[in-house]
Amino acid sequence: MLKRFLFPKNPSHGISFGLLLLRLGFGLSMAVLHGWDKLIHFSEKSEAFNAGFFPGAFVLVVFAEFFCALGVAFGVLARLAVVPMIINMLVAMFGTAAFNELGLLYLTVYTVILICGSG
């Protein structure tokens, strides 16, 4: 069974399986590691966050990092769901002074999902 997934006869099956792993791994990690904390501590974090950006920006961040990330992980309108996530990563990387490699990694993966689809 595992051999069929690792070495498929049809190469497109391997690509689809790879995209599935990419979606699940990066979608769930974004939702659990970044979005969930912002969602459950919304009131405390939104006051500090909105001071640097326009009012209501934190709502868009939570939407992208939690709800869109779950959509990507489970393949629900994945190409549409990565658009707010890509915008979020661009703002996080270039709109703040905190350019980091993790943001670039997320941005790259979400761009690949946008181009290739959900698999």
42-71: pLDDT as tens digits = 988 887 776 667 777 889 999 999 999 999
Task: Report the C-alpha gap between 52 and 9 in whole angstroms.
Answer: 52
Domain residue spans of the chain: 14-116
Q: Which amino acid is at 83?
A: V
What are 75-109's pLDDT values in tens digits?
Answer: 999 999 999 999 999 988 887 766 788 889 999 99
- Mean pLDDT, rounded, for 32-43: 92
Q: Any residues with CB less than 8 A from the CB of 13 and at least 6 apart, and which?
A: 5
pTM of the model: 0.83
Are the C-beta atoms of 75 and 23 separated by less than 8 Å? Answer: yes
